[in-house]
Amino acid sequence: MQQLIRGRILDFHADPAETEDNHRYLEDGAILIENGRIVAVDDYAALAKPGLAEIDHRPNLILPGFIDPHIHFPQVQVIGSWGAQLLDWLNTYTFPEESRFADEGHATRMAGLFLDQLTMHGTTSAVAFCSVHATSAEALFSAAEARDMAMIAGKVMMDRNAIPEVQDTPQQGYDDSKRLLEKWHGRGRQRYAITPRFAITSSPEQMEATGALVGEFPDCAIQTHMSENLDEIEFTLSLYPKARDYLDIYETYGLLSDKLLLGHCIHLRDREIARMAETGSRAVFCPTSNLFLGSGLFDEAGLRKAGIVSGIATDVGGGTSYSMLQTLNEGYKILQLRDQKLHPLTAFHWATRGNALALGMEDEIGTLAPGSAADLVVLDVNATSTMALRAERAETLAEELFILQIMGDDRAVAQTYVAGKPMKAVA
């Protein structure tokens, strides 16, 4: 059955990402949907037909759903844990909490609640770290499949420097990852991401096994962390004394390519920047996490100038909000401290099309192109009295977007569609 969704429509061109000319805007537009896919986008008058089911979201904005390219599923109950920087935070709060995901019942319950949080905040796809347990990845993929929601996820591989409850071994990590990958990668909208947590928690043997898996499945995404925190970097280099730098560890085991998503990338050396650019490796900026854990200030302009493609992500539960709007808000403030500017049109490009480009999934998500998934977010700039008061004085689309970027959160998400289905209760 076809359906028409009407509103003020905004989507973004692949290029250019950083100018005011990066988008298409339809003041009275409509999206024609059939079987969870977009058939056409045009002015409402051009698509309206007698008898066609219609939902009218005017005066709200309709955009491609947000994409969160770095988030931790088993950290739903870690978010907002007090007083620690990265390594203490992992040992004190995170690893014990992740150990609970060995239990299938717990993992299944949390998977549903996690996906509810994403869609409540307007996020329709995510790249997620699961716990070390295969059960956690099974639970997340099963829940996402039931909603026809595109998840890119993997069980973390980690075989040292953590409590035994969240450790695997090089062989078990390889076997479990391969089995999950063969089951889930490309099944419906699900994709597997090969997921060594980071070099601290993987022995050289495990990195070797990871490299073998990457060699066998070159079209899979790979996700890990790099250069988030100064103590982390020092400890990492002490564990891999032959490495020239942090990136060199991942390079040695054959992980560098445009499939590699490197969370954080704050404290990079020049060689690492040059090598990331040469290999197409992606950086993922996690602003709320970087502020919350006191990690440091991401150099967006510097990496872009070097030719590195970056994503922007929540990193829940180091990150403090599922909201990509709040993520853009804190991102704006971090870049202010670096004397860089995050223009609202660039910001909304980044959270949708830009993140899809970073994942190489730009034909499927983060777009309103015909044939792509009908994953949409509907945004209401009048969601709170503070926003509505400010919006009275907004004259341009960019101003409206900036109000959403700085003051918006889940309250500004009037509706989220995943594969054409509304995820919020319809009033």
Give the binding site for Fe ion (CB under 5 A).
Answer: 263, 315
**CA dist., res. 304 & res. 342, Å (int):** 13
The reply on whether position 191 binds ligand GUN by CB under 6 A is no
Site for ligand GUN in 37-66 (CB under 6 A): none
Q: How far is the CB of 76 from ligand GUN (least distance, A)?
A: 12
The reply on whether position 289 binds ligand GUN by CB under 6 A is yes
**CA dist., res. 228 & res. 53, Å (int):** 49
Nearer to ligand GUN, 168 or 315 (CB): 315
* x/- letters, 215..234, toward ligand GUN (CB under 6 A): ----------x--x------
> SS3 of 116, please?
helix
Give Cα separations from 412 to 173, 191, 380 (angstroms). Answer: 41, 29, 5
Half-sphere exposure of 276 (CA within 13 A, CB side): 29
For residue 121, the partner it binds in ligand GUN, Fe ion, none, with Cβ less than 5 to 8 A by kind, is none
Give Cα separations from 85 to 198, 199, 201, 230, 246 (angstroms). Answer: 16, 18, 17, 10, 19
Q: How far is the CB of 97 from ligand GUN (least distance, A)?
A: 10
The reply on whether position 167 binds ligand GUN by CB under 6 A is no
The reply on whether position 198 binds ligand GUN by CB under 6 A is yes
Q: Which listed residue (8, 72, 121, 259) binds ligand GUN by CB under 6 A?
A: 72
Interface segment toward ligand GUN; rule CB under 6 A; list 86-94, 108-116, 340-348, 400-408: 86-94
Return phi, psi of residue 188, to 5°.
Answer: 55, -125
**CA dist., res. 314 & res. 186, Å (int):** 25
Nearer to ligand GUN, 287 or 420 (CB): 287
Which of 234, 247, 388, 416 has the alpha carbon at shortest distance from 322? 416
Q: How far is the CB of 382 from ligand GUN (least distance, A)?
A: 34
Nearer to ligand GUN, 6 or 197 (CB): 197
**CA dist., res. 284 & res. 128, Å (int):** 13
The reply on whether position 197 binds ligand GUN by CB under 6 A is yes
> If residue 91 lies in a helix (H) or strand (E), which one and from where to where?
none
Residues engaged in binding ligand GUN (CB under 6 A): 72, 86, 90, 94, 197-198, 225, 228, 289, 315, 318
